[in-house]
C-alpha cells in the first residue's frame, strides 16, 4: 500500500546491530577521533586567523577547508555517537533531511575547496609573476563565497525534489540518512531525482576533479622543467593537497560503491567502516597532514607548544 510522504514521521536505520558491551568501546574510539578533529581544526583556524603572516590565499582557502571539516564532523558524528548507544535507531523526517543537507554540503564544499586550492597552486607555480595580480583579496573573497554558495543551492534543490516524493516505507539500510537511500523508498517515478543527481555529479563534481587533475599535471610539467629548488618547493606545497584529495576521493568512492551495489557478501563490520571512512577520517587526516607538512604552520604550532611548556 502506498504511504504518502507526509504520513512518514520517522525513518528506521536497519544497519545497526547489537554488539553488547563492545558498543562502549566503539563509542570511546569515535568520541576520541571526534574530539581530536574538533581540537585540531579549531587550532589551525585560530592560527591562520591570528597570524598575519598566514593571510595569504592558500592559507585562507585552507581556513575555509578546516571550517568545513569542523562543520561536517559536528553535523554528523554526534548523531552517530548517540545512535551507537541507543536501543532504538530512528530519526524524525525533518532531522533526516537536515542530516542529508549536512552530509552533501560537507562533501561538495570539500571538492570545491580542493579544486580552488589546486587552482591557487597552479597560478603560484606556473604563473608566479602574474600571481599577485590575479589572486587579489576581492577574488579570494569571491572564490570562498562561491564554493559555499553553489553547494547550498544545489542541495536545497535536491532535498526539495526528495521531499515531494511519496514513500512506500521508512526502513533505511544505512547508519545515517543519505539522499539515495530515501529516494529508493519512493513509490512514484524518481526519474527527475535521478536525472538531477546524474547531471550535477557529472557536470559539477566530475568537472572539479578534471580541473584538479589538469592543474596538477601542469604543475608537474613545470616542476620537471625547473630547478631543483623550485621543484622541492612545489612538491612541499602540493603534497598535502594531493594527499587530502586522494584520501577523500577514495572514501567517497568506497561510499558510493557501498550504497549503489549489493554488498551482502562483505562482512558487516567492513561495510560499516567503508560508510564511515570519509566522515570520520578526513576531518582527522587533513589537520595532521597540513599541520606537519606546511612549514609556516608547523613552526607556529611548535612555537606555541614550547611557549606553553
Q: Are strands 10-13 and 171-172 parallel, antiparallel or unpaired?
A: parallel
Distance CA 245, CA 267 (A): 27
| Model-wide pTM > 0.95 | no
> Model confidence over 240-295: pLDDT tens digits?
888 888 888 888 887 777 777 766 666 777 777 777 888 888 889 888 888 877 77
Rounded to the nearest integer, the mean pLDDT of the chain is: 84
Please answer whether residues 114 and 244 qualify as being in contact, where contact means their C-beta atoms are separated by less than 8 angstroms.
yes
Domains and CATH numbers, the chain: 5-308 (1.20.1070.10)
> Model confidence over 120-149: pLDDT tens digits?
988 888 888 888 888 898 999 999 999 999
Q: Which of 51, 38, 57, 109 is nearest to 237 (CA)?
A: 57
Distance CA 279, CA 15 (A): 17
Of 7-21, 79-93, 105-119, 250-264, least confident by mean pLDDT is 250-264
Residues near 38 by Cβ (< 8 Å), separated by ≥ 6? 70, 73, 74
Amino acid at each position: 500500500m502506498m504511504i504518502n510522504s507526509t504520513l512518514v514521521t520517522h525513518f528506521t536505520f536497519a544497519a545497526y546491530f547489537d554488539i553488547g558491551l563492545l558498543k562502549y568501546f566503539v563509542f570511546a574510539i569515535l568520541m576520541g577521533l571526534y574530539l581530536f578533529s574538533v581540537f585540531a581544526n579549531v587550532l589551525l583556524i585560530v592560527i591562520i586567523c591570528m597570524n598575519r603572516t598566514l593571510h595569504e590565499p592558500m592559507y585562507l582557502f585552507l581556513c575555509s577547508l578546516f571550517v568545513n571539516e569542523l562543520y561536517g564532523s559536528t553535523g554528523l558524528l554526534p548523531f552517530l555517537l548517540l545512535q551507537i548507544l541507543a536501543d532504538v535507531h530512528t530519526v524524525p523526517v525533518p532531522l533526516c533531511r537536515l542530516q542529508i543537507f549536512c552530509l552533501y554540503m560537507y562533501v561538495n564544499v570539500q571538492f570545491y575547496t580542493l579544486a580552488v586550492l589546486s587552482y591557487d597552486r597552479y597560478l603560484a607555480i606556473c604563473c608566479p609573476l602574474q600571481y599577485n595580480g590575479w589572486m587579489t583579496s576581492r577574488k579570494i573573497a569571491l572564490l570562498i563565497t562561491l564554493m559555499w554558495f553553489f553547494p547550498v543551492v544545489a542541495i536545497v534543490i535536491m532535498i526539495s525534489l526528495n521531499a515531494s516524493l511519496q514513500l512506500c516505507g521508512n526502513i533505511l539500510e544505512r547508519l545515517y540518512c543519505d539522499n539515495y537511500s530515501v529516494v529508493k523508498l519512493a513509490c512514484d517515478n524518481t526519474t527527475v531525482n535521478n536525472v538531477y543527481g546524474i547531471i550535477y555529479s557529472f557536470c559539477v563534481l566530475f568537472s572539479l576533479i578534471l580541473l584538479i587533475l589538469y592543474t596538477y599535471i601542469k604543475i608537474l610539467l613545470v616542476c620537471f622543467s625547473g630547478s631543483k629548488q623550485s621543484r622541492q618547493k612545489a612538491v612541499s606545497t602540493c603534497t598535502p593537497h594531493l594527499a587530502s584529495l586522494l584520501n577523500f576521493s577514495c572514501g567517497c568512492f568506497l561510499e558510493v560503491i557501498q550504497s549503489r551495489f549489493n554488498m551482502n557478501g562483505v562482512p558487516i563490520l567492513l561495510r560499516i567502516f567503508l560508510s564511515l571512512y570519509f566522515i570520520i577520517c578526513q576531518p582527522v587526516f587533513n589537520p595532521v597532514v597540513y599541520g606537519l607538512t606546511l612549514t609556516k604552520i608547523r613552526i607556529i604550532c611548535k612555537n606555541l607548544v614550547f611557549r606553553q611548556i
